[in-house]
Structures are given as C-alpha cells and as structure tokens.
Amino acid sequence: MKIVSIVGARPEFIQAAPVSRALRNQHQEILVHTGQHYDYLMSQAFFDELDIPVPDYNLGVGSGSHARQTAQILASLEEVLLKERPDLVIVRGDTNSTLAGALAASKLHIPSAHIEAGERSYDRRMPEEINRLVADCLADVHFCASRQALERLACEGIGDCVHWVGDVMLDALLYNRPIARRKSDALARLGLEPGAYVLLTVHRAANTDDSRRLQQIVDALNRTT
C-alpha cells in the first residue's frame, strides 16, 4: 500500500516516529512535511533526535494566519497527492496541517486516517478544536488513544472504522526514554537536581493572552511550590 503521511508541527513529528517505523515494514510511506513549524528547534531537531525519515516533500509554508497557512498547505498538498496517487492519507492531531490534509484527501476522494481521533476540548474558540472536528468528520479510519475518544466519536455518530490503538506519543516516549537517559545532558547543562525542579508548559493562547488567567496560573504555582 502507498501511504502519504502528513506532518507539520512538533507533536506530529513525535507521532510520526513510531508510526513510520511500523509502516515501512510492509508499506511504502511518502512523508510530507508542510513546513508549518520550520526552525531547527521546532522541526529538524526532532528528525535528528528521533531518527525520523527525511521527508520526501517539504512544502515550506512557514508562518501566517490560520486561513492563509491552511490555504497554502491545501494547494500544495493537492499537487503532491495528484502526483503520488496514494491509497491512503494519514493525518494526525489537530494542527492546520491536519485540517488541510483531511480536506485535500477528501476533495480528491482519497481515503484518510486520523491518528489521535476523538480528542475534544469542547471549546470551539480553539482553532485546534475545529481542526479535530473536521478531520474526524472526513476521516475514513479513526485511530483513538483512549476508550473515552471512542465514546466521544460515538456520541457524534461516528462508529464505523473506529479503533482504540493506544497513544503513539507514549510509544515514542517508551522507545526514546532509554536513549534520552544515555545521551541527555539537560540537567547538568541547566544546573538542575533530579526532583528539585518543575517543568511547565503554558502555551495555549487562552492562558497566555489573558493576563488575569496567566496571573491565576502563576499564583497557583506559587502556592504549590
């Protein structure tokens, strides 16, 4: 089977690593990097560290508004899909690359599979939520990380070709954890002691763009550390 596998952002690179290893044992995978994330630390570092195959295509879309970025990916992906004529398109997660990939495949009548299907925040102000909803609506096959995801899809009337396969992010973690333990020098480089630090990501716009909410997060951290 010939499969076009679409990635564009950090979570998708991590997900692609274990999936590509499994796919390439029996199938032909064409890896397409949309270029949604593009600087070294946001993109190439993951390919280098996680031993992800070199993309067959890099669309190089770069930054832009949601509409402009999605439109550029959609137009470029259409050309790739018309040229490659795959049997299946794989999209993953909830990025603009996910949305564009699902749309491009659907309009060309190519079956698509959505990895990490059925995830929901129930907040349609989040662009990621719209991307998930559209990808799940268009997908022919849904791969879910949890039983709860299956239940969410069932509530939306999606019950065919839905599979609970587990979390490929966990697969990536388990595969790379022993490698990280051998190679990583992050604690020494940053002067940190095991168990004596907290790593926190607060990257959602709903948290960082609202000064009151961000202050509440900081206050809560100060109370617990």
Question: Active-site residues: which are they?
Answer: 203
User: What end-to-end distance do the CA atoms of the chain give, in Å?
Assistant: 52
Show the CA angle centred on residue 201, arms to residues 199 and 203, nearest 5°.
Answer: 165
Q: Which residues pair with 32 in a beta bridge?
A: 6, 57
Half-sphere exposure of 22 (CA within 13 A, CB side): 10
Instruction: Give the 3-state DSSP-derived string for 12-23, with helices as H, strands as E and coil as C.
Output: HHHHHHHHHHHH
Maximum Cα interatomic distance, the chain, rounded to a whole number of Å? 57
Q: What span, in angstroms and rounded, lies between the C-alpha atoms of 64 and 30?
A: 25
Half-sphere exposure of 23 (CA within 13 A, CB side): 20
Show the CA angle centred on residue 122, arms to residues 118 and 128, nearest 5°.
Answer: 70
Q: What span, in angstroms and rounded, lies between the C-alpha atoms of 6 and 93?
A: 11
Q: What span, in angstroms and rounded, lies between the C-alpha atoms of 162 and 189?
A: 44
Q: What span, in angstroms and rounded, lies between the C-alpha atoms of 153 and 224?
A: 36
